[in-house]
Amino acid sequence: MVWKIYKNILTPIDGSVSSMKSAERAIDIAKKLGEKITALYVVDTGCAKLISAIEGFEHLEEESLTLGLEKKGEKNLEKIEDIAKKEGLEFKKVIKKGDPAEEIVKLSREINSDLIVMGSVGARLNILGSVSEKVVKNADCSVLVVR
């Protein structure tokens, strides 16, 4: 008998190689030790606001940038969903808007996840210390940071 020690695994993705690799790791863990997996893509509204304010990019409206990021997120979530469903896992995909670290922690609490599996570096910055560090510091559950 295999114990399912992780009832609900959350894996946030941003489309970066690191986040897609961590989502695959989350699926592996869920196959062996879990029951269901939730993949989250956060549309970074602060990033969209910043880009639209940069000189030379004023023609790009914040709303259209946000919509583009949302479509990118949907495509990335579908890739992870395909893998999870092939493995026979219960899977849910979620798109939120806001600050990535805050939204990850908030959703983790809402769905009562007992493990967050995320990448060490994201699409925005190639340093540990931005989103992943904030999640590690603020999450109520265990966080596995995948290199």
Domain-by-domain residue ranges, the chain? Answer: 6-41+76-146
- Which pTM value belongs to this model? 0.89
pLDDT confidence tier of residue 55, bands split at 50, 70 and 90: low
More confident call, 139 vs 58: 139
Evaluate whether 16 touches 123 at the Cβ level (below 8 Å). Answer: yes
Evaluate whether 131 touches 122 at the Cβ level (below 8 Å). Answer: yes
Residue for token digits 């790009």?
A: 60
14: DSSP letter: -
Mean pLDDT of 17-34: 93
For residue 93, give both structure tokens.
Answer: 């995909």
With 90 as the cut, is the pLDDT of residue 46 above it?
no
| Domain at 6-41+76-146: CATH code | 3.40.50.620
pLDDT, tens only, 83-118: 999 999 999 999 999 999 999 999 999 999 999 999
**Most confident stretch, 36-50, 51-65, 125-139:** 36-50
pLDDT computed for residue 126 by the predictor? 45
More confident call, 51 vs 35: 35
C-alpha–C-alpha distance, residues 59 and 123, integer Å? 23
What is the CB neighbour count within 10 angstroms for residue 1?
A: 3
Average pLDDT, the chain: 88
pLDDT computed for residue 111 by the predictor? 97
Which whole-number Å values give the CA distances from 64 to 48, 68, 135, in the listed order?
9, 6, 28
